[in-house]
Amino acid sequence: MKVESPEFQQRARDALANAGLQKALGNFKQGFPAKRAAAVAGLPEFERLRDVGRDIKNHTLAHLDFYLETFARNVERAGGKVHWCSTADDARATVLEICRRANARTVTKGKSMISEELGINAHLEAHGMEPVETDLGEYILQLRDEPPSHIIAPAFHLNREDWEASFRHSHTELPADREFGERRDILAEARARLRAKFLAADVGITGANFLIAETGSSVIVTNEGNGDLTQTLPRVHIALASIEKVVPTLEDTCTLLRLLARSATGQDMSVYTTFSTGSRRAGDLDGPEEYHVVLVDNGRSAMMGTEFQEMLRCIRCAACMNHCPVYGAVGGHSYGWVYPGPMGSVLTPTLVGVDKAGHLPNASTFCGRCESVCPVKIPLPKMMRHWREREFERHLSPPVARQALGLWAWFAKRPTMYRAATRAGTWLLRRLARGRGRFASLPLAGGWTAGRDLPAPQGGTFMAEYLRRKRGGA
Strand, helix or coil for residue 101:
helix
Which residues does 136 contact at the CB level (< 8 Å), separation at least 6? 155, 187, 190, 224, 226
Q: Which amino acid is at 450?
A: A
What b/e string do you get for 60-87 counting C-beta neighbours within 10 Å, with b at 16 or more? bbeebeebbebbbebbeeeebbbbebee
Closer CB to another protein, residue 70 or residue 422?
70
CB of 276: closest distance to another protein in angstroms? 6
Which residues, in sequence order, are CB contacts of 463 under 8 Å at separation 6+? 419, 422
> At closest approach, how far in Å is the CB of 64 from another protein?
5
SS3 of residue 325 by DSSP: helix
Question: Considering Cα of 142, then 146, then 147, then 153, what sign does the dihedral take?
Answer: negative
CB of 56 to another protein, least distance (A): 7
Quick one: 32 or 387, whose CB is closer to another protein?
A: 32
What is the smallest separation between the CB atom of 230 and another protein, expressed in angstroms?
9
The nearer residue to another protein, 8 or 308, going by C-beta atoms, is: 308
Closer of 112 and 364 to another protein (Cβ): 112
Burial 310-329 (b: 16+ CB within 10 A, else e): bbbbbbbbbbbbbbbebbbe
Distances in whole angstroms, Cα of residue 11 to Cα of each of 8, 145, 336: 5, 18, 8
Whichever of 50 and 369 has its CB closer to another protein, that residue is 50
**CA pair distance 113, 221, nearest whole angstrom:** 13
Cα-Cα-Cα-Cα dihedral sign, residues 264, 266, 269, 274: negative
* Closer of 131 and 381 to another protein (Cβ): 131
* Least distance to another protein, CB of residue 134, Å: 7
To another protein, the closest distance from the beta carbon of 213 in angstroms equals 7
Q: Are 248 and 59 in contact (CB under 8 A)?
A: yes
State the minimum distance, in angstroms, from the CB of residue 430 to another protein: 46
Decide whether 137 or 344 has the Cβ nearer to another protein: 137
Half-sphere exposure of 215 (CA within 13 A, CB side): 15
Indicate the residue among 193 and 382 with the shorter CB distance to another protein. Answer: 193
d(CA 320, CA 327): 9
**Smallest distance, another protein to C-beta of residue 52, A:** 5
